[in-house]
């Protein structure tokens, strides 16, 4: 049988049917086709068990084992079909399955437009593309470009991760997914969030923007733009970069950041800043570059390295150096190359300084080689302590005791309670112990062959009021957290004279207490 329904642009040919008849009960314009029915419009073939063909409206409805074949490149299967020959729009119902060379789409209701070559489903569909499965409530498929447009509760399931999105575009040939709304990608080791970007499911890497984040149980990396290759564990972040380390109460921010998960390292540069916080206070640190290393298995931060123009600020302590290392395992911070530490009224310098932290507070510090402590006595005069090495001990972040080991020297301006000057004390000893109260020297105990002289104000020898190597570096001191970004010297005001308490000086020979 080879008949046709006429209409120049909508001719539907009856290629095959076992039986064709008219039944007035179905309508005067409807022809009933039964048994192995094959219809054709242009090069598209329609197969079914039976069909009702409307001669006047040039439409038909097909039932049982429905199959549409488009040029051997696309096939659609269902249990029932409604087709409009003039608009070339097909509606398929019940157990719908669309198949091409790249994917299989399954849904209960599908609309396919032969003119635009777009398939759409309004209520729940599942697409299988090789080893990936995509699900959504609504979807559109461009059969020419092989692109899917998904809306509402989109789920992309891959072997190593699952993506959840509000709006997603997926190309079944390139296997690239574009996100156009809030999206979460959950993997075995981490989770990614973005509101715009694309993800290459074949290469397993993503380019993300708009609040892009990646995190695991201990750390989070977020930025304006983020490239992440899950296969090699590499992340490249740009713009408002922020690394959050909840295990160590630390935040690291900057303009550019890179992360190598498999190597256990990352860095941030461009106005880089680290913030270490506790319930009492926050330490703000800046350097040209901040490196963070972490345990690759446990994903826990291990060490923080700061390089070039390092400055940090905390209300009770400030510092400056060329480079710094913070070991999180033992809570020790090491300052290198011309380090300066300010603790309340005291300025501490040495070749290198080690600061030990316990329970989020400074416990002690060690100053190695050419250790020097300076504090103001008046506008012109400075109290000074010098030695080869020094060890300082803190209580509640306040410096309480200093032990000087090797070539200990002091210059101290001794005053009465009414602040009148008694004289200037110059002393030398192999070792000495200094006790402080409310950040002022309370007593100095000289040990091991001490040599001490008290000079009246007018009898002090020339140039003896400064120990060799003396430096007063207050113009470098950060007074507020924004000062950590000031590389050069800061303009300073001349400090006012502060009240000094009397100092108890003790001289002890070797072995005396």
Say yes or no to pLDDT of 317 above 80.
yes
Q: Tell me if 34 sits within 8 A of 26, measured CB to CB.
A: no
Query: Higher pLDDT residue, 437 or 353?
Result: 353
Any idea which of 103-117, 269-283, 293-307, 416-430 has the lowest mean pLDDT?
293-307
User: Model confidence over 197-239: pLDDT tens digits?
Assistant: 998 888 888 899 888 888 877 778 889 999 988 888 888 999 9
* Displacement of CA 497 from its chain's centroid (Å): 47
Structure confidence at residue 7 (pLDDT): 40
Q: What integer pLDDT is reported at residue 46 of this predicted model?
A: 95
Work out the pLDDT band at 161, boundaries 50, 70, 90: confident
Q: What is the reported pLDDT for 2?
A: 46
Per-residue pLDDT at 164: 92
Q: What is the pLDDT of residues 17-41, one digit of tens each?
A: 999 887 777 777 788 999 999 999 9
State the pLDDT confidence band at 61, using cuts at 50, 70 and 90.
very high
Mean pLDDT of the chain: 86
The pTM score is 0.74
Q: What is the pLDDT of residue 272?
A: 95
Domains of the chain, each with CATH number or no CATH:
1-123 (2.60.450.10), 316-484+497-513 (2.60.450.10)
The burial of 215, by beta-carbon neighbours within 10 Å (0-12 exposed, 13-18 middle, 19 or more buried), is given as middle
State yes or no: pLDDT of 50 exceeds 80: yes
Least confident of 32-36, 253-257, 398-402: 398-402
Q: Are 179 and 201 in contact (CB under 8 A)?
A: no
Higher pLDDT, 344 or 239: 239
């Amino acid at each position: 049988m080879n008949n046709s329904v006429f209409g120049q642009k909508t001719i539907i040919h009856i290629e095959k049917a076992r039986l064709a008849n008219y039944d007035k009960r179905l309508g005067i314009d409807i022809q009933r086709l039964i048994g192995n029915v094959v219809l054709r419009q242009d090069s598209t073939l329609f197969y079914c068990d039976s069909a009702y063909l409307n001669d006047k409206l040039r439409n038909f409805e097909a039932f049982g084992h429905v199959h549409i074949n488009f040029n051997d490149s696309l096939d659609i299967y269902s249990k029932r079909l409604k087709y409009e020959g003039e608009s070339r729009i097909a509606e398929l119902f019940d157990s719908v399955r669309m198949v091409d060379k790249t994917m299989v789409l399954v849904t209960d209701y599908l609309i396919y437009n032969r003119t635009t070559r777009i398939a759409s489903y309004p209520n729940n569909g599942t697409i299988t593309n090789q080893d990936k499965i995509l699900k959504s409530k609504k979807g559109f498929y461009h059969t020419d470009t092989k692109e899917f447009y998904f809306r509402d509760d989109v789920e992309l399931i891959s072997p190593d991760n699952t993506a959840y999105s509000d709006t997603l575009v997926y190309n079944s040939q390139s296997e690239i997914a574009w996100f156009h709304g809030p999206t979460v990608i959950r993997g075995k080791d981490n989770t990614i969030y973005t509101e715009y970007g694309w993800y290459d499911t074949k290469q397993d890497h993503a380019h993300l923007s708009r609040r892009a984040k990646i995190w695991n149980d201990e750390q989070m990396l977020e930025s304006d733009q983020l490239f992440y290759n899950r296969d090699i564990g590499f992340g490249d972040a740009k713009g408002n970069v922020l690394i959050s380390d909840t295990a160590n109460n630390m935040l690291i921010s900057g303009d550019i950041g890179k992360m190598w998960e498999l190597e256990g390292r990352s860095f941030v540069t461009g106005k880089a800043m680290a913030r270490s916080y506790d319930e009492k206070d926050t330490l703000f640190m800046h350097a040209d570059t901040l490196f963070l290393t972490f345990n690759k298995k446990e994903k826990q931060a291990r060490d923080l390295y700061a390089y070039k123009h390092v400055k940090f600020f905390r209300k009770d302590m400030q510092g400056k150096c060329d480079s710094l290392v913070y070991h999180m395992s033992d809570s020790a911070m090491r300052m290198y190359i011309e380090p300066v530490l300010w603790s309340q009224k005291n300025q501490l310098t040495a070749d290198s300084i080690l600061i030990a932290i316990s329970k989020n507070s400074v416990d002690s510090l060690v100053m190695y080689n050419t250790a020097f402590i300076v504090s103001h006595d008046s506008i012109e005069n400075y109290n000074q302590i010098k030695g080869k090495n020094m060890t300082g001990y803190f209580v509640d972040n306040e410096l309480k005791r200093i032990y000087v080991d090797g070539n200990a020297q002091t210059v101290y301006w001794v005053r009465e309670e009414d602040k009148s000057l008694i004289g200037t004390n110059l002393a030398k000893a192999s070792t000495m112990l200094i006790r402080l109260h409310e950040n002022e020297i309370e007593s100095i105990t000289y040990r091991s062959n001490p040599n001490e002289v008290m000079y009246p104000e007018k009898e002090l020898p020339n140039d003896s009021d400064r120990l060799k190597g003396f430096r007063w570096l207050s113009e470098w001191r950060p007074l507020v957290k924004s000062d950590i970004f000031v590389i050069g010297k800061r303009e300073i005001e001349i400090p006012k004279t502060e009240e000094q308490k009397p100092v108890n000086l003790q001289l002890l020979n070797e072995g005396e207490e």
